[in-house]
């Protein structure tokens, strides 16, 4: 793809922190780097307040696509954007925009915080389309990362709209992203497979009615296992289209969402069934603390677990940075360090399984590969399995099994297993 022809300027960065710095400088919009802790957040916020740079009057897609959607649902978001250039836009116009970007009109009134990462990004595309006529251009962070590859076309559709309006588009990505023309194609190191028994017996998740800030009716989602064998091989992938229910399935396995009926149990060689999860938005799991603060508070009641977690954190960081392509530039308060810290805290408890939901978010392709490889290496040494939820095709060569989720009815998802 020749992005120059579409008036797309692609900027690739080695770290999340560099990307955020450029985003703030280019747009005038403050975006936090919370992995550095509260004090660094307020220092950076104070610096931003004292800057003379004004907003660039561009549509933006923030590094975390949820952060650019301030209103409760898609209907309010899109009508608000449309009404900046024309009056009395309503449900019909908002539905048309959603459908243009591959989203069903039924999500118009669905609370934004119930949408998947990919759905949030597509909603950002629809919002940016609505803003196109009355802004100067678009600055988009990681505009295809959250998407199933079959949906990358919607990013190109948005670029075409801006090209037709003679508006500039900037794409800010991490090194190795699909839009990075200098992307390396080297494969990640492999690890020996670990057998894990996954016992799935029609687990049902019930979602209660939501009254505030907008109404959303109660719903449910049933998962059906259609493979003959219960044995899967770690590291394994969990894949499927945007909005199919991958992150919900992960939360179900981790016990974050209660199971209304049926069961979903992981058994590893040590007969343990505990599952720990690293969220898509992993930075929020640090609760605005630096990695060192997080480990201190998490394991304040157990010095043994604290020492174990600190040792794992240091080993992960040292292993990742020994493999860095361009010298030792480690930042122990970076997003990469934050993810390593969260993984170390979970591995210290020796669970049966650790699930990594889009572990490459906010990382270059190389750093993501090294983080996941060394996580798997350390996890398998402790007889802990690793599951990776992702749309990124590079994990297919690394994983040993694939759990593919497919929606076969509005409230039913089928799970099939294949050995890779």
**Interior angle at CA 417, CA 413 and CA 420, nearest 5:** 140
pLDDT tens-digit series, residues 100-118:
999 999 899 999 999 999 9
Let me know: does 63 contact 362? Beta carbons within 8 Å.
Answer: yes
Query: What does the block give as tokens for 45?
Result: 């916020």
Exposure b/e, 107-145, CB count within 10 A at least 16 = b = bbbbbbeebbbbbbbbbbbbbbbbbbeebebbbbbbbbb
Alpha carbon 214 to its chain's center: 24
Taking domain 194-419, whether its CATH number is 3.40.50.300 is answered by yes
The rounded percent of the chain whose pLDDT value lies above 90 is 67
pLDDT tens-digit series, residues 209-225:
888 777 888 899 999 99
Q: Which helix (H) or strand (E) holds 238?
A: strand 236-239
Q: Which of 2-16, 214-228, 257-271 has the highest mean pLDDT?
A: 214-228
Smallest CA-to-CA distance from 45 within 24, 67, 17 is with 24
Q: Are strands 194-207 and 275-278 parallel, antiparallel or unpaired?
A: unpaired
Q: 3-class SS at 389?
A: strand
Q: Which residue has the higher pLDDT, 326 or 26?
A: 26
Tell me which of 37-41, 138-142, 179-183, 245-249 is least confident: 37-41
Query: What does the block give as tokens for 167?
Result: 């508006």
Query: Would the pTM count as exceeding 0.85?
Result: yes
pLDDT tens-digit series, residues 271-329:
677 999 999 888 888 887 888 899 999 999 999 999 999 999 999 999 988 765 444 44
**Residue 270: its pLDDT value, please?**
63
Query: What does the block give as tokens for 216?
Result: 């959303």
Q: How far is CA 84 from CA 27, 78, 96, 163, 257, in A?
A: 19, 10, 17, 20, 39
Q: Say which residues have a Cβ less than 8 Å from residue 266's Cβ, sequence separation at least 6.
A: 196, 197, 198, 199, 253, 273, 275, 352, 353, 385
8-174 and 194-419 in the same fold: yes
State whether the Cα torsion 35-36-37-43 is positive or negative.
negative
Query: What does the block give as tokens for 315?
Result: 């080993």
**Could you write out the DSSP letters of every residue in 249-299?**
HHHHHTTSSPPSEEEEEEE-TT----EEEE-TTGGGGGTT--HHHHHHHHT
Smallest CA-to-CA distance from 345 within 289, 410, 276, 394 is with 276
Q: Which residue has the higher pLDDT, 236 or 282?
A: 236
Instruction: Tell me the HSE value of 115 on the side-chain side, using a 13 A CA sphere.
Output: 25
State whether the Cα torsion 357-363-369-375 is positive or negative.
negative
Let me know: does 277 contact 284? Beta carbons within 8 Å.
Answer: no
What CATH class does 8-174 carry?
alpha beta
pLDDT tens-digit series, residues 359-417:
999 999 999 999 999 999 999 999 999 999 999 888 999 999 999 999 999 999 999 99
Tell me which of 3-7, 174-178, 356-360 is least confident: 3-7
Task: Tell me the C-alpha distance between 382 and 264, whole Å.
Answer: 22
In the predicted model, what is the mean pLDDT of residues 171-178?
Answer: 94
Q: Give domain limits for the chain.
A: 8-174, 194-419
Q: Are strands 385-389 and 168-174 parallel, antiparallel or unpaired?
A: unpaired
Q: What is the mean pLDDT of the chain?
A: 89
Q: 3-class SS at 137?
A: strand
Query: What does the block give as tokens for 303?
Result: 């010095």
Alpha carbon 415 to its chain's center: 21
Task: Tell me the C-alpha distance between 129 and 157, whole Å.
Answer: 9
Let me know: does 33 contact 23? Beta carbons within 8 Å.
Answer: no
**Interior angle at CA 258, CA 218 and CA 272, nearest 5:** 160
């Amino acid at each position: 793809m020749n992005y120059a022809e579409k008036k797309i300027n692609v900027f690739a960065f080695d770290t999340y922190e560099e990307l955020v710095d450029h985003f703030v400088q280019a747009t005038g919009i403050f975006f936090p780097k919370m992995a550095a802790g509260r004090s660094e957040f307020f220092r950076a916020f104070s610096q931003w307040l004292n800057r003379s740079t004004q907003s660039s009057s561009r549509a933006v897609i923030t590094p975390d696509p949820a952060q650019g959607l301030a209103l409760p649902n898609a209907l309010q978001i899109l009508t608000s954007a449309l009404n900046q250039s024309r009056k009395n836009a309503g449900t019909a116009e908002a539905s048309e925009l959603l459908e243009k970007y591959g989203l069903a009109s039924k999500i118009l009134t669905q609370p934004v915080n119930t949408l998947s990462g990919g759905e949030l990004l597509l909603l950002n595309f629809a919002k940016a389309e609505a803003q196109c006529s009355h802004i100067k251009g678009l600055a988009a962070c990681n505009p295809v990362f959250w998407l199933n590859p079959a949906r990358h076309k919607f990013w190109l559709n948005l670029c075409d709209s801006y090209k037709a309006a003679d508006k500039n588009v900037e794409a800010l990505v991490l090194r190795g992203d699909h839009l990075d023309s200098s992307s390396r194609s080297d494969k990640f190191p492999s690890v020996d497979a670990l057998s894990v028994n996954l016992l799935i017996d029609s687990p049902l998740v019930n979602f209660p009615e939501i009254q505030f800030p907008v109404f959303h009716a109660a719903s449910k989602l049933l998962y059906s296992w259609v493979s003959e064998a219960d044995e899967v091989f770690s590291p394994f992938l969990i894949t499927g289209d945007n909005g199919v229910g991958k992150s919900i399935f992960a939360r179900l396995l981790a016990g974050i969402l209660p199971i209304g009926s049926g069961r979903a149990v992981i058994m590893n060689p040590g007969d343990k069934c505990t599952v720990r999860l690293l969220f898509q938005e992993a930075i929020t799991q640090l609760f605005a603390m630096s990695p060192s603060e997080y480990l201190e508070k998490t394991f304040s009641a157990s010095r043994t677990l604290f020492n174990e977690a600190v040792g794992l954190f240091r080993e992960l960081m040292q292993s990742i940075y020994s493999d860095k392509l361009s010298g030792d530039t480690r930042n122990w308060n970076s997003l990469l360090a934050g993810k390593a810290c969260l993984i170390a805290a979970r591995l210290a408890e020796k669970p049966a399984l650790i699930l990594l939901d889009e572990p490459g978010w906010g990382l270059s392709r190389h750093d993501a590969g090294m983080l996941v490889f060394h996580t798997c290496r350390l996890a398998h040494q402790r007889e802990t399995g690793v599951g990776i939820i992702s749309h990124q095709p590079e994990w297919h060569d690394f994983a040993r099994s694939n759990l593919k989720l497919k929606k076969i009815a509005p409230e039913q998802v089928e799970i099939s297993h294949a050995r890779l």
